[in-house]
Structure 1
């Protein structure tokens, strides 16, 4: 049995077929309706929408047979696509040298009659056929041939419609992502300007406090020393002084005042640290793309998130575990990556809080310890490309399985209404995957926790 030769334009034809993304898809009513009409028009028991792949013909739609596909070498349709402008009619396959010893002729389903109209794309590529088959020798009237050609054009129209709808869907999704990214970028830009201004305003009085605390301590020590000298010189003070001394616990005041000064100092240092983290987070004074050490920025994002938690109405203690490896500097837009780190760490803390607030008969038992694990490392993917990886893992509430596929979609949030905008993870995906050519991966088990892994390539160039 001579197999049909490959068309001269086979590479272009195959590329055109792949662009429709139809191979191995589920049945669709629109195609099935056309196939049924083809069987009625040609009055045959079998009709097929056949797509010719590299080494097989695959049936997008079928009437009268159960097969999903057959080898291309045995396909009548492989001959049909050699002449895209014509309908191939085989009145009796037993006497046609191309098909006489074909196993589908000599065996089941014992094909005798075949008529196939090529599915010719707007670009002129024949990607398959609309064909009709009978187990008895026969022919087609001119009207039936015209009807088969008309229906083949309808198949192509459905293919084009399907592709255009998918492209439109992809375009809408891209627009949604762009809109979400623009909203988030503008929001973060405004926040950055606000933070920079507030940080400056806070920094001045904090610097004043920290600058004057050593003088306050020195003056206090001198005054206490003077007081002790007075006590030594006048061990029996006059009655008003003696009464006042009885009312005061002078030794306690002297001891506690230094503790008070230390508390003020520690509080001011904490404010100073938060201000530094805020200024690092906003990064308005820095170039968009620069070489940075990620560890400092990861710790800053953690400090900011912990400060927010401590100031909340229901603070709780989180165990922080760090597995930091020595990393080379990374070229990136650190202002945008800071957004990602803040978003992912804040989401992790929300998940921990939600599990803490669960009722005792669920997972929030007395031995539950909210834990946040931060890991930095290096890795190489299957293409041999080198990455720096950051992993943010929590043992919080986890994400339900039916929500995990949607988690990066614009305006989608797995949080209760009013607690999430649906922009944080979308923007994070845009920043990591689209802008930094990296990967943002999720692994989550409902009720046990989530792990977000950020993969950032090490070969992004510095701008000129």
Structure 2
């Protein structure tokens, strides 16, 4: 390509051709070099532009990384940080990201208040590769506790190998505090709403009770007025029956003397005697007066019961005869106990113990007896006859006496009735008082107050299988749960109806709770009875009921409040 001694021997033509060829090669080579140089310059410029773009992008993302509000991190599965931004350091209370990386070397043990949260975090990432809104409590550098929310993802190599975790952290402490404050406020509002609801219920209950008490007071005044108005003419009748009976006896004696001394009266007198059937009149007239006396006495008894029951408005405690109050109530509801058509009626068995007078409100206690007895009557009226009907054998088993002394709350007591009283009838069953003893057990309602009395003999096939039993007894003072209880009287009112389910029994003393149809019950009777016994007299009112085994209401009242 260059001149040499070997080329000098060539001809001039060859030299010219050679130089031209060399020149052309030089020109072509120069062009190639220029093009290569231009392309190189273009590549250098492009590379510079790419590097600038990369620098700007790096600067941009570095700015985002450094100035982000959320804490950004990269951590290893083993639990230490690969990288973090200043925001994360600030959230955790460190001066800088380098300080955090240097000091926080075990995330699970040093960061989370519950170390198990780190394991849960890793398990979720292992399963889903992504975790969102993972809330935890963590320690700051100064030991204070804050709430954070983490969002992260698992970064893997092309072959699926886990490299590290990356994500961001948000401090949600203020939000949590606000939520807790909101929950507290909501709880307070609910408590106030519940308090208002209870207050409203109490006001409704008080209003209903005031109305009920007003009605009972008006009823008491009405009954007392009616009893007073009836009592006056009844006393007049009763007062005149005694001399009228004496007058009749005197007249009949005089008539007998006339017959004795004038055995053959005038024909007119003889005809008149036969017309009026004098012999029957002489025999029946004293019986008529005796029946009138019995009827008048019955009216006086009813009037006395009405006057006793009408003591609703008494404001002062007095000495109360429990048995007298029960008998007065039974007399008033006697019409509901009698047989009517196919209804065989309801039998009442009274097993009275020897009770002293107690200090209390007679009218209010009568109201309790009325509510409980009417409740028992309602239960028996609604009870299908097949559930109450029993053969003599069933009744004997139902009321068989309990031998020996069983105990309730480790206390045994005696139940004594008056002895020597002849059998009488109440409702539609014969009842007798005999001196008996029963254990202090508190069995199912059907067997409560069982006594060694021939109750079976009081039944007959024509009498009612529906029975209300009323037992009274005196409990002497004893110790319960380390406390000495005062002497108290116990009244049990037991029916052999169908009983009630536990969900019903547990609510029967709640105001306005009733299982009766609309218009038949207000749901206040048992609630008011509970208040009278517990609040007014410091006693107890309990309900014992088992489905298909009857119901017992047990009243305990201290003798002296």
Matches for 1:124-143 after TM superposition, within 5 Å: none
**Structure 2 residue aligned with 1:180:** 208
Q: Distance in 2 between matches of 1:142 and 1:107?
A: 19
- Structure 2 CA distance for partners of 1:289 and 1:363, relative to 1, 3 Å: closer
Q: Choose 1 or 2 for highest CA Rg.
A: 2
2:214 is equivalent to residue 114 of structure 1? no
Unmatched tracts of structure 2, length 5 or more: 1-105, 124-133, 140-144, 153-164, 392-460
Q: Distance in 2 between matches of 1:160 and 1:285?
A: 42
Asked if 2 retains the 8 angstrom alpha-carbon contact of 1:397 and 1:449, the reply is yes
Q: Identify which of 514, 535, 554 aligns with 1:434.
A: 535
Q: Identify which of 199, 202, 205 aligns with 1:171.
A: 199
Runs of 4+ in 1 over 6 A off after TM superposition: 96-100, 105-113, 129-140, 311-315
Q: Distance in 1 between matches of 2:474 and 2:150?
A: 63
Asked if 2 retains the 8 angstrom alpha-carbon contact of 1:373 and 1:392, the reply is yes
Q: Distance in 1 between matches of 2:280 and 2:315?
A: 54
Asked if 2 retains the 8 angstrom alpha-carbon contact of 1:113 and 1:139, the reply is no
Matches for 1:341-356 after TM superposition, within 5 Å: 341-355=369-383
Question: So what's the TM-score if we normalise by structure 1?
Answer: 0.65
Q: Identify which of 492, 515, 524 aligns with 1:414.
A: 515
Q: Distance in 2 between matches of 1:266 and 1:282?
A: 24
Q: SS where residue 330 of structure 2 aligns? A: helix
Asked if 1 retains the 8 angstrom alpha-carbon contact of 2:320 and 2:360, the reply is yes
Asked if 2 retains the 8 angstrom alpha-carbon contact of 1:184 and 1:427, the reply is no
**Structure 1 residue aligned with 2:465:** 369
**Structure 1 residue aligned with 2:326:** 298
Calculate the aligned-residue CA RMSD, in Å: 4.0
- Residue 211 of structure 1, CA deviation: 0.8
- Residue 199 of structure 1, CA deviation: 1.3
Q: Distance in 2 between matches of 1:371 and 1:197?
A: 33
- Residue 402 of structure 1, CA deviation: 4.4
Asked if 1 retains the 8 angstrom alpha-carbon contact of 2:112 and 2:137, the reply is no
Matches for 1:28-427 after TM superposition, within 5 Å: 92-95=107-110, 114-115=136-137, 144-283=172-311, 287-306=315-334, 309-310=337-338, 316-355=344-383, 358=384, 363-364=388-389, 369-378=465-474, 382=481, 383-386=483-486, 387-427=488-528
- Residue 242 of structure 1, CA deviation: 2.6
Asked if 2 retains the 8 angstrom alpha-carbon contact of 1:277 and 1:304, the reply is yes
Q: Distance in 2 between matches of 1:116 and 1:438?
A: 57
Q: SS where residue 172 of structure 2 aligns? A: helix
- Residue 107 of structure 1, CA deviation: 9.4
Asked if 2 retains the 8 angstrom alpha-carbon contact of 1:443 and 1:450, the reply is yes
- Residue 157 of structure 1, CA deviation: 2.8
**Cα offsets for 1:19-72 (capped at 9, x unmatched):** xxxxxxxxxxxxxxxxxxxxxxxxxxxxxxxxxxxxxxxxxxxxxxxxxxxxxx
Q: Distance in 1 between matches of 2:168 and 2:355?
A: 74
How many matched pairs?
Answer: 354
Q: Distance in 1 between matches of 2:255 and 2:138?
A: 112
- Structure 2 CA distance for partners of 1:154 and 1:191, relative to 1, 3 Å: same
Unmatched tracts of structure 1, length 5 or more: 1-90, 118-128
Asked if 1 retains the 8 angstrom alpha-carbon contact of 2:112 and 2:136, the reply is no
Q: Distance in 2 between matches of 1:331 and 1:193?
A: 23
Q: Distance in 1 between matches of 2:490 and 2:500?
A: 22
Q: SS where residue 237 of structure 1 aligns? A: coil
- Residue 203 of structure 1, CA deviation: 0.9
